[in-house]
Structure 1
Amino acid sequence: MQMNVLLTGANGFLGRFLLGYLSEQEDVWVFPVYRSSSHIPQGLGAKVQPWLVEQPFETHAWEAELDGMDVVVHAAGKAHVPAGQNDRLEFQRANVEATMNLARRAALAGVKRFVFISSIGVNGNTSDVPYTEESVPQPSGAYAISKYEAELALLKLAETSSMEVVIIRPPLIYGAGAPGSFAQLLRAVKKGVPLPFGMVNNRRTLVGLENLASLILVCLHHPGAANQVFLAGDAETVSTTELLRTMAEGLGKKSRLLPIPLSLLEAVAGVFGKKDLMDKVCGNLPVDIAKAKRLLGWSPPLSFREAMLGSLREGVK
């Protein structure tokens, strides 16, 4: 039976991969949303029918786009705000108001399920014990707070409408074309820059694009996903040292990691006001994905090593 999926954020890092991944499924038709005609790729195939929405998402009516849709996958959002702008207001507008405008209109249009891509930042920035769905949320910063506010509003909407809501919180997503801190580390490894992380024995959960996409696919239709929150992640945790060595291997480069004690790195970061950066690179952030395994029968199809090496091979094609 054909399933029609409206996909927002289709031009983003995750959205581009999801578009291809979902459209390859036998019974899934994807209707990606683009903000500019220049972003719409050529040769999308018969099962992909793009929409151009140039109006602000927080005020757009969505009537034509939602007609006949079974599921909305909302992967659009704002993760960074340019310097000089009010980040609290900008994140509120893009991640809460825009999300809820779309969700309310989807419920009125008879959409069966709304899948919201949130962030592990809702749980917190660092933790020595694995986060679970039962962990008390501790969002830090305007971005994570906005994601949490959107989650709460969506779950409240699910209580008063027939539309089911699924919330997925991924940690750092890696893959070909990944932005942010992953891209910065990758460039450094590619250039052969010596990095002072040879003695970092932290434990972090990451998630490869294909592993995350496979969880999203299950959440499109599995009855056990209805009105649930799931943490996403690879099956194993890795240290920053392991991550960088695997990057180097995938790029065919020599790993150049200096054995600097973590205590010294933390002291230097404190002097230069880079504690947040240190937390991102060297802190612990393990994630327990047992709930998704138990309720959905899902497991990440690729190991960290398989996903990382595969993404690096894809990136150099």
Structure 2
Amino acid sequence: MKIKITGSSGFVGKNLSDYLTNYSFLVDKISLRNLNWKNDFTADAIIHLAGKAHDTKGTSDALEYFKVNTDLTEELFNAFLKSDIQDFIYFSSVKAVADDVSEILYEDVKPNPKTPYGKSKLKAEDYILSKQLPEGKRVFIIRPCMIHGPGNKGNLNLLFNVVKKGIPYPLASFHNERSFLGIDNLNYLIKEIINNKEIPSGVYNFADDDFLSTNDIVSIISFVLNKKNKSIAIPKNIIKSIGKLGDFIKLPLNSETIQKLTENYRVSNKKIKSAIGIEKLPHTPEKGLEKTIKSFIEK
């Protein structure tokens, strides 16, 4: 089975390409920067990973998100509709619908993205969903939460360095619950979608089975590093005051950092598991994070 993949040079693209190749799929890596990408547009499925990632520093031009995440996706999808390719798998993001999640995020949530990144992803989703699919074709809009895996530190880098340096984690008085997605579970889900033609088109959240708190993550990092967990539970009102001071004198521990480390962001994966017909994903979030953290040490 031949699979076309855009964005194959990125973290997810590299891992997914290797994984599918190991399962005897023929992976064709294409670049949308190459003006000739339409010349050989034949495959069984196309996985669209290419895009402009979320800029947490907020320095990117908003229009650039729409040029890359929206316009290129529309062009690729139009080519798919005219082709003989059966499956189109588009990697969107949970940020396309929600920057904050007070309860649990399901696929039917009313979208309310607040960033150019999220808005550009949602606009691409809307375009895809607005088109009539020819018979025999399937379309999947994937909304992954925070993806991690060996070699990809991402937002885990801050906590990893805190524990590695022996600095006490000061926010243990806050208990939150967050969803993560290990790269091994992501690869497994994509393989199942491609292989199982009974899975219907639609929007699907991708997340590990269980939620983890930031305190859980600190514990996992401490365990992997074989270091004592030095977390301390400073009262919340004191932490919030420190955060306001950090806003004023530009400290690393400011209100935004505290918010990111202590907020809830829970994502349901029940829809995709039901479609596949499984109760549990093959890899637990704890084991996935352990594997990721171990890779930081080995580098």
TM range (shorter): 0.7 to 0.9
Counterpart pick for 2:212 among 216, 223, 238: 238
TM superposition shift of 1:165: 1.1
Counterpart pick for 1:147 among 104, 118, 121: 121
TM-score (norm 2): 0.87
Letter of the 1:279 partner, please give it: Q
1:311 matched to 2:285: no
1:90 matched to 2:64: yes
CA distance in 2, matches of 1:146, 1:25: 33
Distance 1:25 1:143, change over 3 A: same
> Are the aligned partners of 2:152 and 2:292 in contact in 1 as well (CA < 8 Å)?
no
Determine helix, strand or coil for the equivalent of 2:242. Answer: helix
Counterpart pick for 1:74 among 39, 48, 53: 48
Match of 2:29? 32
> Are the aligned partners of 1:192 and 1:256 in contact in 2 as well (CA < 8 Å)?
yes
Match of 2:102? 128
TM superposition shift of 1:7: 1.1
Match of 2:283? 302
CA distance in 1, matches of 2:74, 2:259: 31
Match of 2:250? none
CA distance in 2, matches of 1:129, 1:243: 21
Match of 1:5? 3
Distance 1:185 1:24, change over 3 A: same
TM superposition shift of 1:182: 1.8
Determine helix, strand or coil for the equivalent of 2:155. Answer: helix
TM superposition shift of 1:271: 4.9
Determine helix, strand or coil for the equivalent of 1:63. Answer: coil
TM superposition shift of 1:247: 1.5
Letter of the 1:112 partner, please give it: Q
Letter of the 1:308 partner, please give it: L
TM superposition shift of 1:276: 4.1
Letter of the 2:30 partner, please give it: V
Letter of the 1:14 partner, please give it: V
Distance 1:18 1:202, change over 3 A: same
Once structures 1 and 2 are overlaid, which stretch shifts more, 233-242 or 220-229? 220-229
TM superposition shift of 1:82: 9.7
Gaps of 5+ in 1: 35-52
Match of 1:216? 190
TM superposition shift of 1:104: 1.2
Match of 2:138? 164
CA distance in 2, matches of 1:169, 1:231: 5
TM superposition shift of 1:296: 1.7
TM superposition shift of 1:225: 3.6
CA distance in 2, matches of 1:301, 1:124: 27
Determine helix, strand or coil for the equivalent of 1:150. Answer: helix
TM superposition shift of 1:81: 4.9
1:293 matched to 2:286: no
CA distance in 1, matches of 2:41, 2:256: 40
Counterpart pick for 2:260 among 265, 269, 280: 280
TM superposition shift of 1:125: 2.3
Letter of the 1:220 partner, please give it: I
> Are the aligned partners of 2:30 and 2:37 in contact in 1 as well (CA < 8 Å)?
no
Distance 1:80 1:292, change over 3 A: closer
Distance 1:86 1:237, change over 3 A: closer
Match of 2:39? 64
Distance 1:308 1:73, change over 3 A: same
Once structures 1 and 2 are overlaid, which stretch shifts more, 211-220 or 269-278? 269-278
> Are the aligned partners of 1:23 and 1:30 in contact in 2 as well (CA < 8 Å)?
yes
Determine helix, strand or coil for the equivalent of 1:313. Answer: helix
1:102 matched to 2:102: no
* Residue deviations 1:170-204 (CA, integer Å, cap 9, x gap): 11112112243222322332233333222221011
Distance 1:161 1:85, change over 3 A: farther
Gaps of 5+ in 2: 248-253
Once structures 1 and 2 are overlaid, which stretch shifts more, 119-128 or 12-21? 119-128
> Are the aligned partners of 1:199 and 1:241 in contact in 2 as well (CA < 8 Å)?
no
Determine helix, strand or coil for the equivalent of 2:227. Answer: coil
Letter of the 2:261 partner, please give it: V
TM-score (norm 1): 0.83
Once structures 1 and 2 are overlaid, which stretch shifts more, 130-139 or 183-192? 183-192
Match of 2:223? 249
